[in-house]
Amino acid sequence: MLICVTGATGHIGANLVRALLARGDRVRVLIRGADRSLAGLDVERVPGDVLDPASLDRAFVGAELVFHLAALISIQGDRGGQVPAINVGGAKNAAEAALRAGVRRFIHTSSVHAFDLTRGGVIDETSPRSESPNLAAYDRSKAAGEIEVREVVSRGLDAVVVHPTGVIGPFDFEPSRMGRMLLQLRDRSLPSLVSGGFDFVDVRDVVGALIAASERGRTGESYLAAGNWISVADLARAAAAITSIPPPRLVVSVGLARVGVPFAAAWGWMTQQEPLYTSESLSTLAHTARISSAKAAGELGYRARPLEETLRHTYAWHADRTP
């Protein structure tokens, strides 16, 4: 069948497209900018943007399924309004276009950040969303984007929402922020670690959840796709067990790391690279919430692989790409 994917050049998208092609699907992708992560793949490319409804109409025509992955992840505020424009307006545009095109099912990729993680405890699909103005712009945008999709569901769109946690794994061409951190650990270029931790999931398990949601998810339902909660220090030690490169010895508290945020921002400006640690990313690491995938496990057959396997395959993929 013909399947359309937005955000296909991103980390999840690059893995999803490969999984769909491997099972024999015809894949069409909405492309905005470079697509080196899809180089050599037999996909139909439609130039466009989620902010351009006409291009979405062209991309979705004749598609049976649409996987909407396009989003702007930010740990530095709303990026001049781009974050809500893409994550809220873009989600609305994509859902509306899917309804117009008569697609059989629309799978919306949200995020665990759509939930208010500051509440702690166990987060499941019934937990409160990120609607407080005190929360990060990205978190609020993912919650608001989900609301827009559900409004279109109320008018007849068959849609399912999947919420991954922190994504790591192979085919990370950019690389992502976590991919960059893993490479810095390997290359001894990360001077210190920060206390705290987060739930990290293999990108291939997220892809499995998305495909299962397209087949077995219930219309209008959300499914959390979590992995394994791990502290930053333990993640570095797990990486060291694979690379044989000792992790940084210095581990600073989140509070102390906040003092260095302005200096990290200045360094990022000079090097034209987004810093790993900002006020928003440090707040994320300070959360103590645990994420439940019980619903996805029961209804979609979702399972998360061991983190060690993810790290081993991630480093192997990057090694294969090194000249």
Does the predicted model carry a pTM greater than 0.85? yes
DSSP 87: I
pLDDT digits (tens, 9 = 90+) for 38-54: 999 999 999 999 999 99
Structure tokens at 85: 């424009």
pLDDT value of position 258: 76
pLDDT at 270 > cutoff 70:
no
Q: Which domains does the chain have, with CATH numbers?
A: 2-171+200-229+290-307 (3.40.50.720)
pLDDT value of position 33: 84
Which of 138, 223, 277, 302 is flagged as catalytic? 138
pLDDT value of position 287: 87
CA dist 25 and 27 (Å) reads 6
pLDDT value of position 272: 60
pLDDT value of position 267: 52
**What ranges in 62-171 are assigned the alpha helix state H?**
82-84, 90-101, 137-153
Cβ neighbours of residue 71 closer than 8 Å, sequence gap 6 or more: 7, 10, 86, 87, 90, 109, 111, 142, 145
pLDDT digits (tens, 9 = 90+) for 12-31: 999 999 999 999 999 999 99
Q: What is the mean pLDDT of residues 218-241?
A: 97
Alpha-carbon 212 to chain mean position: 17
pLDDT at 279 > cutoff 80:
yes
Cβ neighbours of residue 224 closer than 8 Å, sequence gap 6 or more: 112, 123, 124, 125, 163, 165, 291, 292, 293, 295, 296
pLDDT value of position 256: 78
Residues β-bridged to residue 29: 5, 45
pLDDT digits (tens, 9 = 90+) for 118-164: 999 999 999 999 999 999 999 999 999 999 999 999 999 999 999 99
pLDDT at 273 > cutoff 70:
no
Q: What is the mean pLDDT of residues 313-323?
A: 89
Q: When comparing pLDDT for 226 and 260, which is higher?
A: 226
- Per DSSP, the residues of 197-236 read EEEEEEHHHHHHHHHHHHHHPPTT-EEEE--EEEEHHHHH
Backbone angles phi, psi at 252, to 5 degrees: -105, 155
Cα atoms in the Cβ-side hemisphere of radius 13 Å centred on 175: 20
pLDDT value of position 9: 97
Q: Is 302 a catalytic residue?
A: no
pLDDT value of position 262: 55
pLDDT digits (tens, 9 = 90+) for 93-123: 999 999 999 999 999 999 999 999 999 999 9
